[in-house]
Structure 1
Amino acid sequence: MQTSPFPSPAPLDARDERVFEAVRELLAVQGMRLSMDAVATLAGCSKQTLYSRYGCKRELLRQAMRLHVSNATSGLSSCDRKPLRQTLIDFAIGYLDHRNKPKVLQTSQLLGASAHEFRDEARFMYHGSAEALRDQVAEWMQTEIARGRLTHDDPHFMAELLLSMIAGQDFERQRFHAPHRDDAQQRQRWADFAIDAFLRAFANAPEAGMAPENKNNPRSFS
């Protein structure tokens, strides 16, 4: 039986958990201006400990983003016992639930607002988060293509398309303070719709485990 093309994240010790939690908290209020002093204070350790353990602020951020991407993709597996559709639905719900957390939204808005001022840092954050997530999903898709559960195509294009379909316009609605899918039921309905549309384009039908199309099921966010 085949397993995931990338391993689950290794368990963190208590100190790493405090440090990475401090990074998440501070990114939501300081954005690109996050400092090692602030991380050390919030995590309850010395700045010297941070530098000896992580090297520099950029490496600390790199490790924090790598952990996030690993957690986000840990549910993707090539286990024969789990239908392809259910694997993707679970991934989509996890992605949407995470992106709808208030602190995550606040961080995204803060980083976006300061990107013009901190261009190098913004590119670094993009490559370590959004692009790294796409690459991980593409790696999983390449495995599924080789197994015959997905049709042969460009896995990076497929991964980018999938993530775009899952996101829809909801994060734009939030950015402009418009009504959005703010509860689990609405996000579930959207995830079902997006994943079924993706599978109609790329899945080998017998492997998809797709639900029958229901034209009477409204899909709006309101």
Structure 2
Amino acid sequence: MHDTIELKQISHHFDTSEERIELFHGLSHTIRTGETLAIVGPSGAGKSSLLSIAAGLEAPVGGTVRFTVDGREVDALTLRANSGFIFQQFHLMPELDAIGNLALPLRLKGNRAAFDIAASWLEKVGLEDRARHRPHQLSGGEQQRIAVARAFVSQPRFIFADEPTGNLDARTSENVSSLMFDFAAETGCGLVIVTHSKRLALCAQKSLRLEAGRLEVSA
């Protein structure tokens, strides 16, 4: 049974001091675990807003969003507790070392094996020798590999990534992309990525192109 996020006729806008910016209107799509999805389109089209709405981080202005986990409908808070997030800025805790950053989501959930699990994920991303390094002692690529592992460490149902390779060079981007898609396949989660990278979008099973308020789906 797939966990799902159903977007039904959702609309969104935001207001500036001078005008209302309409992002999109009447969009519908269902996101499922076990699938990888890229959201693409020009800057300002509302891709990040669409991701935030799908992730339960913000509510749409119009329409409804329905989340189901284990066959039952849940609220946005429950979805977020079952999700992992990857951002363009790495958002690691500067006072924690690499293994501490990785263990944090597990410790917050009271998992006594947090550091053992974190150590195994450090190995998966090839950074076991950086366990005691703090973020400022790591390269951008190393920080993002830690951020990717941190998103997956709790075995979430969904991973939401907003421009995860936006700050990385081509070679490092490829490495980080491979990790995300490999881990998604391994864990069976749903992976939703906002990206400007055509190469990254082509790795996904399906693309949603958001442009001029409309959504086009291509497999």
TM-score relative to the length of structure 2? 0.29
Higher helix share: 1
Q: Which has the larger radius of gyration?
A: 1
TM-score relative to the length of structure 1? 0.29
Higher relative contact order (CA 8 A, sep 6+): 2
